[in-house]
Amino acid sequence: MEIEGARGKRFLEIVKKDLHVSRSSWDNYSCKHCIDLQLIKIKLGNTELENEERANLQVKQRELEKHLIVSRHQRAFYQHLLENLTPLDVIVIMDLTKFNNIEGEHVHDLILVVIWKENNQMKTKIFNFLAQDAKKTFPYVRAVWKELLAEPLFENFRDIWIWSDTRPQHFLPG
């Protein structure tokens, strides 16, 4: 299942092309932090680095390697969740993005990808909640979730598994 937007894919293609890296070695590295980690490893291979720059890169490398470990655990749990999904379970992947409409005004899009099992088949539905003047606050997210949970699709689910990037700039207090 591919959820990443075209802009992210294009960025990865540019990075791969510029670094002359084959696709197979990049398959497990799709987020910005994982890409940064690979770029740091490439830079550390440069024998002409100054000691201070090398030390700074090594500190950043250790931080990003922690991210990679967490990412692997999350991926394993997500795979486990998908493999063991029952008709009473639903997964909701949540992300917030912002873009400009043709008038140049900011529009927020709270994207919710819903994944469930029905008749032994995985089903997916994407909900986009667009708001021109909404702020990234708890009341906005709560209003979206109230609307989502009112959907007839959610009537028979017992457990909702929510996945989000939880970056600090997302979902500020009301």
The string of DSSP letters for 19-43 reads HT--GGGGTT--SHHHHHHHHHHHH
Phi then psi for residue 127, to 5 deg, are: -110, 130
Return the amino acid letter for 56. N
- The C-alpha angle with vertex 157 and arms to 153 and 158, in degrees rounded to 5, equals 160
- The C-alpha angle with vertex 128 and arms to 124 and 130, in degrees rounded to 5, equals 175
CB contact set of 81 (below 8 Å; sequence gap of 6+): 89, 91, 161
Where would I find the H helices in 84-168? 138-149
Query: How many CA atoms within 13 Å lie on the side-chain side of 29?
Result: 22
* Structure confidence at residue 34 (pLDDT): 78
pTM of the model: 0.65
* Structure confidence at residue 3 (pLDDT): 31
Please report, in tens digits, the pLDDT of each residue of the chain (174 residues total).
233 333 334 333 433 344 444 434 444 446 777 788 888 888 888 888 899 999 999 999 998 888 888 888 888 898 999 999 999 999 999 888 777 777 777 788 888 999 999 999 999 999 988 877 666 677 888 888 999 999 999 999 999 998 886 555 555 554
Would you list the domain boundaries of the chain?
Answer: 6-80, 86-164
Three-state secondary-structure class, residue 84: coil
Q: Give residue-wise pLDDT tens across range 98-143.
A: 777 777 777 888 889 999 999 999 999 999 888 776 666 778 888 8
* Structure confidence at residue 29 (pLDDT): 45
Q: How far apart are CA 14 and CA 4, in angstroms?
A: 16
